[in-house]
Every structure is written in C-alpha cells, then in structure tokens.
Structure 1
C-alpha cells in the first residue's frame, strides 16, 4: 500500500537533506586538480595532485580545519579512493576534497550560495499507488562492473551491478540494471523514461530499492524517484544511466524538473 502521508514525510526529509548548509546546493565551483598548483577564488590555498595524492599549500594567514585540527602551510590529504572524500573547514564553508571518475577534485560549499538560499523545494508528481510496482530481482551470478557516463563531459563512473530487476508496466515487460546501494542488500537504479526532458530532468533519475525478499521479490516505488544533484547544479559529477535503463514508457511519478533548472532553461 502507498501512504500519501508517509510519502510527504519522506519527501520533506529529502528536501531538507538537499538544502543542508553544506549540501550540493551550496557548491560554488568544481575544480579538477593537476600537478600544477592552482588557486581558487572560493577556497584558501594552492591545490595540486600527484602520485602521493592531493596537496594544499596555505599562504601566511590561511588555515583549514581537518578532522578537528587546524592546519597551516603545506598539508597532504593523501591518495583518495574513488567516490571517497575529505571535508576541510574554512570559516563557515566546507572544502570538499574528493575523487570522482578517477580525478581528484576540490569542490567548495558555501552556505550563503544563492542556489541554496533561494531553494523552494522540489516539484513532484502526486503520489499514487499505480506507480508502486512489484518486480523480481534476477542476480547475475557474478557481479559485473558497469561503466557509465557522467554529467561532466569526458568523465566516466564504474559501478558494480549484482543483477537486474524485471517488472511490468501496463502490460509492457521492462527491466532495469541495478547497482549496489548504500547498505548491504539495498539496490538502486539510474533511469530515464518518456517523461525525461519533458516533465522530468532529462539526464537521469535515481530509484532506491529495498533488499529483495527470500523469493527475489522487490517493490519499485517510482513515487520516490529522485533527481540527482546535477539536476540542480553544474558542479556535480553525477552518473548517467546505462543505455538499457532508458525505459520506453512514461513514468509519471517521482520528482520533476527542478524550479532552479527551469529558471535557466
């Protein structure tokens, strides 16, 4: 059953996380590091990367706080693993140091960024039980590495896919390649559909899926299909769906094109 009140609570919490003072709406730039030191207008220090990882050289009077300790001068963040990062604090800003698509990046987050301060929520379809769909999880036996594109041209992401989910919409058999979710057993799918670029964001949406039951049954609640950060900001490196996840139906459920994207379209 689909409880509209539960959906409203879930969506309100999703919007709250999105509007966090140091969330994606607070990002003010996306900077790819090289072996040549670079300074950025929205972060202290001169930044570079190499075989030993990310390094920042802080000038006199510049400081960062890393893991609660104040650092000055030259500081090494070390070699970062893919999709990991370290947050360094500078005043009321957080300087995200991360690895995405094989590249070391610096992504400052300032709470007073207009994209965040003017945020007014995310438009979405009214939730309906019609878009709570039963599916069947089909494991692939050996998990496979799937390479997908990214919102940033020239960037690629690699995700492990343990299988796919098969389901049916209005008599049409469909399937989604799924990736491992945040917690053990959880899954998620990146997809587009016939609403993409019309009423929903063109590049992608994401759907979290609870672990399959003992018989492999899963529930696809498309009312909870969400935008990725790239729907709001050009400073996100979001993954794109694999080609097979372009659904030939209109999924009129979940989040729509953000107000922020419509304002600049």
Structure 2
C-alpha cells in the first residue's frame, strides 16, 4: 500500500506512532470487540431470526405465541410463563407496542434474552441463548497484523442536506434506508477514493460500510464496517483501516446487516482489519 501526501496528511503529523504501542492498543481494542460479540447474550448467542405476521406463531427456544399488527408486537403467554420486560414481570398477553425502525426491546425468559426488533420495516424476534454452540465454541476473529501504514487522514465533505440512501441487506429482499450526511475523500495506492458515510454511534462520529479487492478472498464478501471520530474543524478525518470490522452477518445467518452503498466498493486491496471468520470456513 502507498499513501500520497500531496493532498492529504499522514494520520500522525508528529511522526509515525511507536509500532509496539500501536500493536498493543490495537490488540486491546480487538479483544474488547470480540468480547462484546461473544458476551453471554451477544450476537453469537442468537439462535434464530423469526419474522412476525398477523398470524400468531410459536418459535423454538421462545415461549408463547407472537404476532404483529397496527398496534405493534404482541405475545400471548401461558399461565405458567413469565417474561421480564424493562424490569417488570409480565404474564398472559403483553403488548410491546410499535417498535421503531432499527429499534428493539429485550425480554428476559429464564437464561434467555428475546430481542423484539424492527428491521427493514418488518417486526422480528431473535432469541439469544448463552449455550448456543456458535458462542461457546468461539475462539476469536482472524485479522491482519496491525500496521500504521493503514492509518490515513482524509477530508470530510458534508452534503448540503443528508441524503436518504437505500442499501440492500444480508437477508435477500430486505432493504435499509440510512441518512448519509456526507462522504470521506482520501488517497490509497495513488488513487483518490471516497466513501459515503452514515452517522456513527456517538454524536458527530461517522460509520462507513465498504468492500474492496480482498472481499470474498481473505475478508468477508458482503461488507465490512469502519468507524471514525468526528471530523476536525478543517474537515480532516482519520480512517484506521486496521479497525475495519465484520458485521454480525459475517458470523451468523440470523443477522439483517446492511450492505454498502454501490459507490463504496474500493478498487484496491485493503489488507487490514478483520478477515473471514473461522465460523464461515477456512481463511485464505
């Protein structure tokens, strides 16, 4: 990888970071990321993705019968069953109400957490069982060796107005719509590139979904995700591709992860960040 600095600065204007410290900080970050994924009720504990309809349905590993309608999601429990929702025990019929898009409510049943959510306009139920083999057998996510060369500083260009952007999903036929506030322009391998950015998980931060020439070879084919801190006052934004992560769909078919916008296919091989999970087969 080469980085052109005629228009863009290196990520560390005071000089290259100490390699040993850089590696230690990356390893701590990666362990923390994998620990959240494999937490007792993390995403690796999900045992099913169930789509609700007006017709009451029962699902494996989940008590009661579930349905949805104009008033939102409803569960009907038998007399012996209790769920805990927002700290309150409920029995019989319970109305969760209308779940907002990308929102969710967790209901606790014994040692199971039942996620009630809305994705792509559809209400879903996902039970999370701590003893799910995908979780208990997890040994960590393969990744490239961290290298400071993959830390670049780009320029954030805000759109005049946030652009509603429709993207596909890991579930065939599903669509997600996100507001894109702008794009990040940067250089890799002698090329000026850009990534459409979505709002991040904290105010002002950004998230990009992308694929590149490693996708489907050494990295997960559908997508990877990279978070960035809020741009500086002059628009400078740091992209540390060493921290490119898999989304849950890289590990399990019970995810509804968004796919990158079409323009976020990078024509370079980003040999940094997380690789294909072992759960999906041998890593090249």
Q: Which range, TM-score by smaller chain?
A: over 0.9
> Cα offset for 1:161?
0.4
Structure 2 counterpart of 1:130, from 133, 141, 149: 149
Query: Residue 5 of structure 1 aligns with which residue?
Result: 24
Count of residues paired in the alignment: 265
Query: Residue 82 of structure 1 aligns with which residue?
Result: 101
Structure 1 counterpart of 2:243, from 224, 232, 242: 224
Query: Residue 156 of structure 1 aligns with which residue?
Result: 175
Structure 1: segments with no counterpart, 5+ residues: none
Query: Residue 41 of structure 1 aligns with which residue?
Result: 60
Match runs of 1:182-201 below 5 Å: 182-201=201-220
Residue 95 of structure 1 aligns to a residue whose secondary structure is strand
Pair 1:177 & 2:196 matched: yes
Deviations 1:160-218 (A, max 9, x none): 10000000002111000000011111001000000000000000000001110010000
Structure 1 counterpart of 2:265, from 233, 241, 246: 246
Which contiguous aligned blocks of 4+ residues in structure 1 show a shift greater than 4 angstroms? Answer: none
Query: Residue 237 of structure 1 aligns with which residue?
Result: 256
C-alpha distance in 1 between matches for 2:163 and 2:186: 21
Structure 2: segments with no counterpart, 5+ residues: 1-15
C-alpha distance in 2 between matches for 1:212 and 1:6: 22
Query: Residue 89 of structure 2 aligns with which residue?
Result: 70
C-alpha distance in 1 between matches for 2:87 and 2:185: 47
Query: Residue 39 of structure 2 aligns with which residue?
Result: 20
C-alpha distance in 2 between matches for 1:115 and 1:218: 36
Query: Residue 4 of structure 2 aligns with which residue?
Result: none
Q: What is the TM-score normalised by the length of structure 2? A: 0.92
C-alpha distance in 2 between matches for 1:190 and 1:127: 20
Pair 1:119 & 2:123 matched: no
> Cα offset for 1:60?
2.3
> Cα offset for 1:54?
0.1
> Cα offset for 1:263?
5.9
Query: Residue 166 of structure 1 aligns with which residue?
Result: 185
